[in-house]
Structure 1
Amino acid sequence: MQKGIKFRIYPNKEQQNIIHQTLGCCRLIYNKGLAMRNEAYEKGDKVGYSQTSAMLTGLKKSDDFAFLKVVDSIALQQSLRDLDRGFVNFFQKRASHPTFKSKHNRHQSYRTINQGDNIRIAGKYLKLPKLGYVKARQSMEIGKIHA
């Protein structure tokens, strides 16, 4: 059984800047992927996760989008997976068409995956990719975080 656990974190200023940058990059990638899929749909083409993932790789190689290398790459891939899941739900009539993400929405979040023990708990700190150790408060004790 998989279980999601939320933590309250207390990042310092530098970590806050990286978090805000990650949120912005995830939003940018999601919106670019959505625009790409909408344009392809108007032309009659079919675009899936693999094409949007290739778009992300191309953007990361470009000099104009070099800032994408600074943030957690798994978080960027997860935003494209979320977009793909949104389209699956739309075509199965479980949800409305995915909409563009706004900077002014109160609920902003990003997801990442534990690969190679890159997320772990060390005392009162939570180690996160690209952020390092962030002070955290746990609502309940958990053992080891598995992939």
Structure 2
Amino acid sequence: MIDWRHASLSLPGYPNTDQQAAIARLFGCVRVAFNDALTLRKAHYAATGTYLSNRVASAALTTASKRTPEREWLTDGSCVPLQQALRDLDTAYKNFFLTKHRSSCARSFPP
């Protein structure tokens, strides 16, 4: 006899057209937030040679850029994926500078 309490079914789940549109909007928002943060960090590092903290970048991008007319559509989705994209960029920057520091000691991670 089969114990149905421990059985599981494997069924594929595909999003419908409304869900596909919502996912595409979400990925678009995340991509724009990541690219804007990357541009901001590159410009700040080129101008000052120092690291831009995640708190400052988050405040500049998630609040200030949402108030501009061309970026007001960023408020349509959740802020959690946007903040996660900024955290991912911060992790990538930290890993980049630590790797460069270990390999050549030419660049060091700014505090």
Asked if these proteins are the same fold (TM beyond 0.5), I'd say: yes
State the number of aligned residues.
Answer: 87
1:44-83 map, 5 Å: 44=48, 45-55=50-60, 56-83=62-89
- Whole-Å separation in 2 of the counterparts to 1:77 and 1:9: 27
1:19-38 map, 5 Å: 19-38=23-42
- Whole-Å separation in 2 of the counterparts to 1:18 and 1:73: 14
Give 1:13's aligned residue.
17
* Change in 2 beyond 3 A, CA 1:9/1:65: farther
In structure 1, what residue type is equivalent to 2:42? N
- Whole-Å separation in 2 of the counterparts to 1:89 and 1:24: 25
CA shift for structure 1 position 72: 1.8
**1:39 matches 2:46:** no
TM-score (norm 1): 0.55
- Whole-Å separation in 1 of the counterparts to 2:14 and 2:66: 30
**How big is each residue's C-alpha offset from its partner over 1:108-133, in whole Å with a ceiling of 9 and x where there is no partner?**
xxxxxxxxxxxxxxxxxxxxxxxxxx
- Whole-Å separation in 1 of the counterparts to 2:74 and 2:13: 23
Structure number with greater Rg is 2
Structure that is richer in helix per residue = 2
Greater relative CO, 1 or 2 (CA 8 Å, sep 6+): 1
C-alpha RMSD over aligned residues: 1.6
Classify the secondary structure of the residue corresponding to 1:59: helix
* Change in 2 beyond 3 A, CA 1:9/1:36: farther
Question: How high is the sequence identity, in percent, across the aligned residues?
Answer: 33
CA shift for structure 1 position 30: 0.4
Structure that is richer in strand per residue = 1
* Change in 2 beyond 3 A, CA 1:9/1:31: farther
Consecutive unaligned residues in structure 1, runs of 5 or more = 1-7, 95-147
CA shift for structure 1 position 62: 2.4
CA shift for structure 1 position 9: 4.2
